[in-house]
Amino acid sequence: MKKAADAAEEASNSPALAVFARAGYAVSGLLHILIGVIAFQLAFGRGGEADVSGAVAQLAAQPVGPILLWACFGACAALALWQLGNATFGYRKASDNKLSKRLSAVGQAIVFAGLAATILSFTMGRGKNSRESASDVTVTLMKAPFGIVLLVALGAGIMITGVVFVVRGVMRTFEKDLALSYKEPTRKFQSGVGVVGYITKGIALLLVGLLVVIAAVRVQPEQSTGLDGSLRALREQPYGPYLLAAVAVGLIAYGLFLMVKAKTLRT
């Protein structure tokens, strides 16, 4: 077992896996850009599904869609494994092996494993509307013992994550994970898309979590509709189309930041 553990640790620290893991951030960045574009279209009355499923569906519709999806699946799966390795075996630098960072690695491993699973479902022809998926999960949890409590806790957790994103954007703490350019214009762009992107992503997560809590309290699972439903609800507010357009631009900025992260991440 020790040999197996050593082999797993060596694999998690391999340069090849790190390269594929970086590609996972680029894939996530591309999907966020597509979500932002769809959200911008929604703001002005055009159709589309402004969430991961909608973005993946757009990739699948391209002439080389299957190849794109398999490549995206591989990159996201590699990133999930890499983060799981970081959480389990720690980072190369001793200063990085803080409990908070390793817990963050666990969270990212779960997120990217879920993203890989979503991409794989489309690759296999079983892609599902994520609004329906969110409602289905909500219904399932409501039927479980203490389901309402679990849903409120889930919604609160998503909202807290949103707050963390906003704080990280305002405080620019994400910069310590990047090797920023020594050229001032490039560095300002790298930092700027990070600030705007993190704040906007945080606001989006706050909206998603709020809908989960509302669905739980009212016992109306159809109100838990994920990111797409949250953005559509935002559009119905006063000045909604303009607010949604601003969020769309921010999501595009977050996608650009993830692409910057893919290239400049400190490992």
Share of the chain above pLDDT 90, in %: 42
pLDDT in tens, 54-65: 999 999 988 898
Q: What angle do CA 71, 21, 133 make, to 5 degrees?
A: 65
* Residues 73, 120: Cα–Cα separation, whole Å: 6
Q: Give me 57's structure tokens.
A: 């569906």
* Weakest mean pLDDT among 49-63, 81-95, 145-159: 81-95
- For residue 133, pLDDT beyond 70: no
* Residues 31, 255: Cα–Cα separation, whole Å: 7
Domain ranges of the chain: 2-264
Residue 158: other Cβ atoms inside 10 A:
18
**CA 102: distance to chain centroid?**
18
**Any bridge partners for residue 265, and if so which?**
178
pLDDT band at 149 (very low <50, low <70, confident <90, very high): confident
Give the mean pLDDT of 68-93: 86
Token pair 């807290």 in the structure block, residue: 160
pTM for the whole thing?
Answer: 0.87
Pick from 239, 253, 266: nearest CA to 29: 253
pLDDT in tens, 31-59: 999 999 999 999 988 878 888 989 999 99
What DSSP letter does each residue of 199-261 carry, written as one string?
HHHHHHHHHHHHHHHHHHHHT-GGG--HHHHHHHHHHTSTTHHHHHHHHHHHHHHHHHHHHHH
Total residue length of the chain? 267
pLDDT in tens, 197-246: 999 999 999 998 888 888 777 766 666 667 888 888 888 888 889 999 99
* Residues 109, 201: Cα–Cα separation, whole Å: 18
* Residues 25, 191: Cα–Cα separation, whole Å: 17
Pick from 166, 227, 232, 239: nearest CA to 196: 166
Cα dihedral sign, 137-143-148-149: negative
Using the 8-state DSSP alphabet, how is residue 265 labeled? B
